[in-house]
Chains A and B, each alone.
Chain A
Amino acid sequence: MTRRTASVQLKMRNLSDFWRRYKKNRAGVLGLALVLFFVTLGLLAPVIAPYDPWQVQVGKPFSPPSAEHWMGADHLGRDLYSQVLYGARVPLLVGTLAALFSTLIGIVVGAASGYFSGKLDDALMRVTELFMMIPSFFLLIVLVTIFERSIWYLVFVIGITGWPGTARLVRGEFLSLKEMPFVEAARSIGASHRHIIFREILPNAMPPIVVNASLGIGATIILETGLSFLGLGDPNVISWGNILANAQIYIRLGWHASVFTGLAIFLTVLGLNLLGDGLNDALNPRLKER
């Protein structure tokens, strides 16, 4: 057996071990199912959507749910079900990418701060504290209005405002892990800072970071839909937030646009939160046994 296949087998074993632990948390399994369900709907939207989501007058404006239009029609007579399917894409994409981006920044800042401590730590924590105080929702409103309304820009700005929580978490992990015997051992055989940070400490700090990131995706989806609801979404795409912004304007004329779209957001975020809980239990088995 070559070394490579052995390591692959080991990884598979770990994965099935992980799944065995994960599925003990029934709510976590439900969460995973919800997330997969909405991701699939978003990905397969072109295949499953019964109508072109942009096509106006395929139904009577504001018509309630019916056999032809499962969720009814919006103010322009567009099919709401098709819109909700396509509308999943932007929040899921922005939520995932922005959460990953801010997690990355948080890891860099937190690791540098916790590992090197001293003056660098003081300075970085000052910046982190400042970013924690800044009301990011209102900063985002300013940034989006004066610069541009596009998905990539949104990912960027949500990423650079959303990292302080992760940075503090990572810093805490680094502060306690760097005192551990295995890190001392690595240091005593002359391992470089880079090796110790990325190979020794970071892998051990990953579990809480992963949990935090999965909760972060849910929070970012709520943030993104909130900004779009305010009218700051990219007007050239269909997104849950954009649908809800329109639903708000015409709320007296039809309830269904709001109810169905909001339900989709709610279930997706609920799924992500349950997923985060499940990951937490599966990644920290010792915590559970206490």
Chain B
Amino acid sequence: MANRSASWKTYALRRALGAVPLVFAIILLNFTLIHIAPGDPILLLTGEIAPSPEYIEAMKTKYGLDRPIHEQLLIYLSSVLRGDLGRSIRYDIPVTELIASRAPATLLLMGTSISISILIGILLGVISARKPYSLTDNLTTVFSLIAFSIPIFWLAQLLMITFALQLGLFPTGGFSSARTTLAGIDYALNVLHHLFLPALTIALLRLATTSRLTRASMLEALSQDYVITARSKGLDERTVLFRHALRNALRPVITMTGLQIGTMIAGATLTEIVFSYPGIGWMTYQAVLQRDYPVLMGVYLVVSLSVILANFVTDIVYALYDPRVRYA
């Protein structure tokens, strides 16, 4: 038993060490971009709207722009690692602070839609795999085909046009109703009311990926000897499906969820724009319109690091869940 827990820690440590070069590579790429961009690097670090000469001087000293390039890289690296991503041009506050203030809305949106899509998606996948080419299976196939072909922001617009603008069932945007003084449960309900359509948009598309992947890996699992053994032991179908087959079929689903975090944040960004949902995506949109370079580079860096983190976490979750992984 001691051996087992030790090996799990070794595994986590190995994974964490493996992620370090990735983090450095991503920061290096950001640094390179700042320096190969047309014009002075100061432009990307401080923005286009002419700051005062004193400010430029201060920035030059801060980032060591008059020093050799390898020293500049070290300075940049250490400031990023300390969480300093520069200042937003538009809001004149640190980029880190701005991102932190918008992150909760995006986390709520993504957390809700990912949980819904994983629960329903896995269930749909299992049902489809149990009876391939049945009506449910064919319907989910058609649904997935549509979901794979639809641009997420158009789906968002369609839902908004239908359910918010035409039917008036949901608000057209925002995080909660402005100019009201709701509190407690009323406020929570108001937030959920605003969350519904954007979360539905993302969940519908994620559902397709999750259910297809679950179906494929369940079909594989159901043909294995241990499933046949479980059935011949006389176990009831639900136990065979969920206890035996699904446990083994879940790995690609968990791995894919980690790998696709970047794509999901991109989808959430486009959805937030449609519903003017005040998260990271809406902020990115404003930054694009205002050419707020420090914010855009900061968002890129933070999303990159989130992807690495998400992959690390999904690996560890899986290793905890399935001991075989640790010895691989």
Size class of A's contact patch? Answer: 35 or more
Contacts of A269 in B (CB 8 A): 149-151
Name B280-312 residues within 8 Å CB distance of A.
284-285, 288-289, 291, 293, 296-297, 299-300, 303-304, 307-308, 311
Q: How far is the CA of A146 from the CA of B48 in the complex (A)?
A: 11
Establish whether residues A270 and B265, one from each chain, have CB atoms under 8 Å apart when the complex forms: no
Question: Who on chain B is nearest to A262 by CB?
Answer: B154
Chain A contact residues: over half helix, strand or loop, or mixed? Answer: helix
| Interface 9-mer from B86-94, B182-190, B232-240, B268-276 | B268-276
- B177 CB-CB contact with A under 8 Å: no
Contacts of A54 in B (CB 8 A): none
B64 nearest CB across to chain A (Å): 21
- A134 CB-CB contact with B under 8 Å: yes
Contacts A146-B293, A232-B288 hold; do A135 and B266 have CB atoms under 8 A apart?
A: yes
Contacts of A135 in B (CB 8 A): 262-263, 265-266, 300, 303-304, 307
| Option from B29, B151, B284, B288 in Cβ contact (under 8 Å) with A265 | B151
Q: How far is the CA of A226 from the CA of B288 in the complex (A)?
A: 13
Contacts A262-B154, A262-B157, A265-B151 hold; do A273 and B145 have CB atoms under 8 A apart?
A: yes
Contacts of A258 in B (CB 8 A): 154, 157-158, 161
Establish whether residues A138 and B300, one from each chain, have CB atoms under 8 Å apart when the complex forms: yes
Total of A-B residue pairs, C-beta within 8 Å: 128
B196 nearest CB across to chain A (Å): 18
Q: How far is the CA of A225 from the CA of B155 in the complex (A)?
A: 13
A28 nearest CB across to chain B (Å): 12
| Option from B166, B269, B304 in Cβ contact (under 8 Å) with A133 | B304
Establish whether residues B300 and A145, one from each chain, have CB atoms under 8 Å apart when the complex forms: no
Establish whether residues A244 and B296, one from each chain, have CB atoms under 8 Å apart when the complex forms: no
Contacts of B291 in A (CB 8 A): 145
Interface size counted on chain B using CB atoms at 8 A: 49
Question: Who on chain B is nearest to A138 by CB?
Answer: B300
Name A127-186 residues within 8 Å CB distance of B.
129-130, 132-139, 141-143, 145-147
Selected A-B contacts with CB under 8 Å, 27 pairs:
A126-B21, A135-B263, A135-B265, A137-B265, A137-B266, A138-B300, A138-B303, A141-B288, A142-B296, A142-B300, A145-B291, A145-B296, A146-B37, A147-B38, A225-B151, A226-B266, A230-B285, A231-B288, A232-B288, A248-B157, A255-B166, A259-B161, A262-B157, A266-B149, A266-B150, A270-B145, A273-B149
For the complex of A and B, 10 pairs with smallest distance between CB atoms: A135-B262, A262-B154, A137-B266, A270-B149, A269-B149, A138-B300, A146-B37, A258-B157, A135-B303, A255-B161
